[in-house]
Amino acid sequence: MNVTIAAAQYPITEHRTFADWRAHITDWVADAARQKAQLVLFPEYGSMELVSLFGPEIRLDLRRQVRELDALKEEFCAVFAGLAKQYKLVIVAPTLPVLEEGNVLNRAFVFSPKGLVGYQDKFFMTRFENEEWGIHSGEKTLTVFDAPWGSFGIQICYDVEFGLGSQWLSAAGVSLILAPSCTETVRGATRVHVGARARALEHQAYTVVSQTVGNALWSPAVDINYGFAAFYCTPDRDLPEEGIIGTETPQKVGWLVQTLDFSRLETVRQHGQVFNYKDHQRLSSSFVDESVKVVRRLV
């Protein structure tokens, strides 16, 4: 089965009204649909542009702004649910801070023509999120999204730099891992892309990165953004030798669109030059029961 995916290089844009934002996001989804996308991936914290609708006292208050955004959650979801139905595609919306039992979580909502089908919360917080912004780790639940063309999971930004989440998702049948991300430096973007490439290698899977780009100096939270979209795979038979399917020029605004063939992954997992996927399943099924010793030697 094949799927065509559009990954955004998305700028944090200032808007005067919610209607202005809705028209803006509609143009983005319409553009992806014109390019035959079946799945649309927006980056982490792309929703922070909605803070521009608030007054300066909220814009400049890091902790208050994420709580105020929760009041827009239903309207936000209604817009993406309508667009997914209108254009008959799957949308991974830009992550939105939401309030759950008094805690602020970083959540990626997923929509299909059926409407809202689920979400994935971020597990691991960066220092900025934890120490300055007041974002909390979500409940440790991983969601597998089953589509007609295959199954996918989401590892939000910092999460993709750790192997366990992707390992559990892959063990549950996922062969596509989406990594919406928001970083402000080349180093930060690089960490996410290195993580995404590692997860593709470990699980003989596809990984897709979407990142915020450009500056939004009115926002103290996402004022500086550096990133680029990318599609990665394992470097094995009938797949790109360096494991890079496609990347876009950093900081360029727009979509990177690629078509992925899942049958190639199945061939690699069954007949590849190496068996990373199978051996990673052994890590959780057998190695944990084996005694591993660490020894020290003087040189």
Domain with 60 in it: what CATH number? 3.60.110.10
Q: Is 31 helix (H, G, I), strand (E, B) or coil?
A: helix
E strand map for the chain: 2-11, 39-41, 90-92, 96-100, 103-112, 115-121, 135-136, 145-147, 150-154, 176-181, 206-215, 224-225, 230-232, 244-247, 254-261
Pairing status of strand 103-112 against strand 96-100: antiparallel
Instruction: Tell whether 154 is covered by a domain.
Output: yes
Q: How far is CA 271 from the centre of its chain?
A: 29
Number of domains in the chain: 1
Instruction: Tell whether 168 is covered by a domain.
Output: yes
Instruction: Tell whether 298 is covered by a domain.
Output: no
Instruction: Tell whether 297 is covered by a domain.
Output: no
Q: Examine the pLDDT at 37 and tell me if it is beyond 90.
A: yes
For the stretch 97-112, pLDDT in tens is 999 888 999 999 999 9
For the stretch 136-183, pLDDT in tens is 887 888 999 999 999 999 999 999 999 888 988 988 889 999 999 999
Instruction: Tell whether 53 is covered by a domain.
Output: yes
Instruction: Tell whether 283 is covered by a domain.
Output: yes
The span from the CA of 65 to the CA of 57, in Å, is 9
Instruction: Tell whether 128 is covered by a domain.
Output: yes
Domain containing 175: what range? 2-289
